[in-house]
Structure 1
Amino acid sequence: MFASFKENPLMQNYVIGDIQGCFDEFMALLSLIEFKSNLDKVYLVGDLVNRGPRSLDVLRFVYENRMSIQLVLGNHDLHLLACWAGVAITKPQDTITDILEAADVDVLMHWLRTQPLLMELPNHIIVHAGISPSLSLMQNSQLAEFCSQKLASDNFVWWLSNMYGNTPLSWSEDLTELERFRFGINSFTRMRMLAGSGLDLRFKGTIESAPAHLRPWFVENIEGSKVVIFGHWSALGLFFNEKVIALDTGCIWGGQLTAICLENNRLFQCPAQSGVGVVAE
């Protein structure tokens, strides 16, 4: 099922990389692209929250503008949901306590848990970490929908409590429902590299510094002509080829927050801790 897309010729569609609580940079980037909430669409690649100073403000703004801003869930968003559900605890480096203590936390969390893990547009696929090259595009879409249904179900606490773990690393039609759920969560929100025919969930560095037995998930054959847009991998940074666009440019680590216009591939960036953005050439 396609996400809503361009119908008005004046409408612009943008995808923005990992925000991670960097609300000021998010607002500066929306100003830079001259975002019009009554006309334009913005898609977020996940990890709206955590590590940055204003995660609650990010969530509230996106929720209030949910008709024009859509998102896929990232691993930090899922961690927030698990902490809210009482099946995980906050880590020393987390900056989500203000969300968990907010008066409107239940409204925000029940909305957040119904958001998708994968969005399909006419010419693009939006996901936080990637899609498994061992599955067809249809299988990836079906797996994402399966996982999303579990998170949106009345039994969501049980699924959140059982999503943690690094296995299974490889897909099989013999996987149980829980194994399929965990493989999907890990593929869509945690994957960077592949090892053999399975996922590698440990390596976070640059491609150049990777051990010889690892390879980026996107070097494998990706079915179809749609370009996959993802975030999650700040060490990779801004990366383009004919099949993928990576948009996590490490705003939370002192880099930039990046947007791309889907109509013309024009890039826009706002540096960390600054309200002055640049249009990338």
Structure 2
Amino acid sequence: MSTYLIGDVHGCYNQLQALLNQVSFNKDKDILWFTGDLIARGSSSLEVLQFIYSLGKVAKVVLGNHDLYLISVYSGIKQSYACDNIVSLLQHPEIEIFIDWLRNCPLVIVDEEKKLIMSHAGIFPYWNLSTALQYAREIEKYLKSDNYIDFLSQMYGDIPDIWNINLTKFELLRFSVNVFTRMRYCFLNGRLDFSCKTSPLSAPTNLLPWFLINTNIPTGYSIVFGHWSTLRNVSTPKNIISLDTGCCWGYELSMLRWEDKMYFQQSFHT
């Protein structure tokens, strides 16, 4: 049995299938972990969701910002745009099934045996693992509830952009959603920055990638994330694994086999 960790698919169905063919993926033996952002931008979001949903427990998915966006568009909280390429998905007769499935996906997955943590954008460096899981599970509880639309209506916004335990409950949860699904850079005082999306090689000097700030995550754990395609040619610390290599932008879809740490890539031009 092999465990494969796959970066942001973003509707690139053909590339996903070609990537899995490289390793002769066997759904009866292997497990797939997805860093989120399954949909949008690419041309085949419907096919991607249909395939991953069909895998059942073989697929482990963390929610990304685009997955939450799909739920919000479906719920009337957000407006869809043509460039998102999700019209056919929204019009599919089984869209409610996919939405319910996504609402029940986690924001963070932890495998204690493998010492492996996955979140779409990462883990806030000033949190320990217990705190991160506390906020993730609270958000997941709301997304699974019958009142999830009320939660979504309060979820969006850049403020608060710094963690403080004296924030209101929903301020803490909004901040946490942004950490798990939107975070890239922090100012030196830990304040989140949402404007800079470039490579750290050309970022302002007053910003640090979240993973270069001393973390409270125990030694021995690895954090796997996606979201940040401009990291595709940037080295990260040994236990920080970035898997979004910008397939939807014409680059590659990337996958890591956990057992032997071997990487596989599939070009956008299959």
TM-score by length of 1: 0.92
The amino acid across from 1:254 in the alignment is: G
Q: Deviations over 1:199-244 (max 9, x none)?
A: 1111110101111110000001222121100010001116442220
Which of 46, 51, 54 pairs up with 1:61? 51
SS of alignment partner, residue 74 of structure 2: helix
Residue 83 of structure 2 aligns with which residue?
93
Q: 5 Å matches for 1:199-238?
A: 199-222=192-215, 223-224=217-218, 225-237=220-232
Provide Cα deviations, 1:27-50, integer angstroms capped at 9, x if missing partner.
111111211101110000000000
Task: List, as ranges, runs of 4+ consecutive aligned residues in structure 1 with deviation greater than 6 Å.
Answer: none
Percent of matched pairs sharing the same residue = 38
Query: In 2, distance between residues paired with 1:171 and 1:102?
Result: 39
Of 256, 261, 269, the residue aligned with 2:257 is 261
* 3-state SS in 1 of match to 2:84: coil
How many Å separate the matches in 1 of 2:176 and 2:92?
A: 30
Alignment correspondent of 2:23: 33
Q: For the residues of structure 1 that align with 2:82 and 2:94, how far apart are their CA atoms?
A: 23
Alpha-carbon separation, structure 2, partners of 1:138 and 1:157 = 27
SS at structure 1 position matched to 2:160 = coil
Query: Which digits, 9 at most, give the CA deviation of each residue in 1:75-118, with x for residues without a partner?
Result: 01010000001111012421111111000000110111110000
Amino acid at match of 2:99: M
Counterpart of 1:16?
6
Distance 1:93 1:256 in 2: 20
What is the CA distance between 1:273 and its match in structure 2? 2.5
Code of the residue aligned with 2:246 in structure 1: it is G
Look up the equivalent residue of 2:179 and give its one-letter code. S
5+ residue gaps, structure 1, are: 1-10, 275-281
Distance 2:263 2:72 in 1: 34
Which residue of structure 2 lines up, in the alignment, with residue 171 of structure 1?
Answer: 163
Would the aligned equivalents of 1:88 and 1:161 in 2 still touch at CA under 8 Å? no
Whole-angstrom distance in 1 between the partners of 2:8 and 2:269: 15
Residue pair 1:14, 1:259 contacting (<8 A) in 2 also: yes
Which structure's residues are more often helix, by fraction? 2
Q: Give the TM-score normalised by structure 2.
A: 0.95
Root mean square deviation of aligned Cα: 1.0
Tell which deviates more after alignment, 194-203 or 19-28.
194-203
In the TM superposition, 1:90-239 aligns within 5 A as 90-122=80-112, 123-195=115-187, 196-222=189-215, 223-224=217-218, 225-237=220-232, 239=235
Which ranges of structure 2 fall in alignment gaps of 5 or more residues?
Answer: none
Letter in 1 for 2:260: N
Partner residue, 1:251? 247
Deviations 1:140-192 (A, max 9, x none): 11111111111111110011111110011111111212111111110000000
Alpha-carbon distance in structure 2 between the residues aligned to 1:167 and 1:216: 19
Give aligned pairs, total: 264
User: Given that residues 18 and 48 in structure 1 are in contact (C-alpha distance below 8 angstroms), is that contact kept between their aligned partners in structure 2?
Assistant: yes
One-letter amino acid matched to 1:233:
W
